[in-house]
Structure 1
Amino acid sequence: MANTIPEKVVNFNVYSDVEKLIGVAGEVTMPDFEAMTETISGAGILGEYESATPGHFSSQSIEIPFRTISDSSFRFLENKGQTIVLRAAQQSYDVAGGKTSVRPLKITIKGTSKGLNLGKVAVGAPTETTATIEILYIKIQENGTTLLELDKLNFIYVINGTDLLEDVRNAI
């Protein structure tokens, strides 16, 4: 196993389904993965515990921040599905080789528009406009390898190449 230390994102771009989004601010916060659970208790169980349902997660959303109000931000008010792709260059340090290397990260998100916060207007300041998307699909790839794929509408939940819902789809 290579002795590499993951360090940071060197830079990234944000794309819609058709073009690079101009005017996106400096950071995009990724969604939380909070499993939907059911409390289990009863005969033979000391107390209770939370049982996660595989592939089922609470509502997830992502905000795309813009420096100013622009036509790119208003496309998120259209009543249609939205696709966002984040492409990043991640830096690692190779201890044995004594050099840094870059590996690509691609995050594809599909969903529906939840809203647009126009932000504020102030002299010499960004508006901090944000578009919010409800996530129905997310796929994270590093160096072309799928690390995560979650498709809430098609019963797909893949972690590190393993389809964790294959048995569920086959059963129903």
Structure 2
Amino acid sequence: MKITNKTIQYKLKATDTTGNLVVIDDNSDLQLPSIEKLTDTIKGAGIMGEIDMPTYGQIGSMTFTVNNRADTAQYPMLSRPGEIKFEVIWVVDLFDSSNSKIGIQQNKVFMSAVNKTYDMGKIEVNAGADGSSEYEVYYLRKIIDGKEVLLIDKFNYKYAVNGVDYMANIRTALQ
């Protein structure tokens, strides 16, 4: 059994104003999107109480947050209107209990998003600025050790987990 432990290191890249992916330095941490399904409460005959039932394949707002120590020239550039593409790569250490070895696991997330907020932070003597930027994500692709494990493409109606596209039958039904 492989047991993942903790993040060893990560790198954030984003598209600049010319569309090139560049490394975004000096961030303190990243909050990846949470995938929350849209729901509706059902109740009535045959149901004891209520069920907050997710609507099949419908995903709520997905937010990506970049927290930074200082407001460098990179962060105002990432507050611009329009699409910004992100690439997050991180490595975690893992323990393989079957042979008592320690190794690593590579994770990658690719996102397309638009900027929602840009907080320049605070100015205080002998302290970091602690600013942040928040983005609305509409495309997300996660790869672990070279294998795609998650794909959400809201504009093309795709939601695939480990190669199974759960929205294929919906796209077919809508033709």
Q: What corresponds to 1:167 in structure 2?
A: 169
Say what the alpha-carbon RMSD is for the aligned residues: 1.4
Q: Which has the higher strand share?
A: 2
Aligned counterpart in structure 1 of residue 156 of structure 2, from 154, 161, 164:
154
Range that drifts further, 87-96 or 51-60:
51-60
Cα offset for 1:39?
A: 2.1
Q: What corresponds to 1:8 in structure 2?
A: 6
Post-superposition CA distance 1:36-72 (Å, at most 9, x none):
0122234444443222122212212111112111111
Q: What corresponds to 1:57 in structure 2?
A: 59
**Preserved contact between residue 73 and residue 129 of structure 1 (Cα < 8 Å):** no
Counterpart amino acid of 2:32? Answer: M
Unaligned runs of 5+ in 1: none
TM-score when normalising by structure 1: 0.91
Q: What corresponds to 2:24 in structure 1?
A: 21
The equivalences for 1:80-159 within 5 A come to: 80-159=82-161
TM-score when normalising by structure 2: 0.90
- CA shift in 2, pair 1:98/1:43, >3 Å: closer
Aligned residue pairs: how many? Answer: 169
Report the secondary structure of 2:156's partner residue. coil
Range that drifts further, 46-55 or 109-118:
46-55
**Preserved contact between residue 61 and residue 134 of structure 1 (Cα < 8 Å):** yes
Range that drifts further, 31-40 or 139-148:
31-40
The equivalences for 1:33-72 within 5 A come to: 33-72=35-74
Q: Distance in 1 between matches of 2:49 and 2:25?
A: 54
Q: Distance in 1 between matches of 2:121 and 2:49?
A: 48
**Preserved contact between residue 110 and residue 138 of structure 1 (Cα < 8 Å):** yes
**Preserved contact between residue 76 and residue 115 of structure 1 (Cα < 8 Å):** no
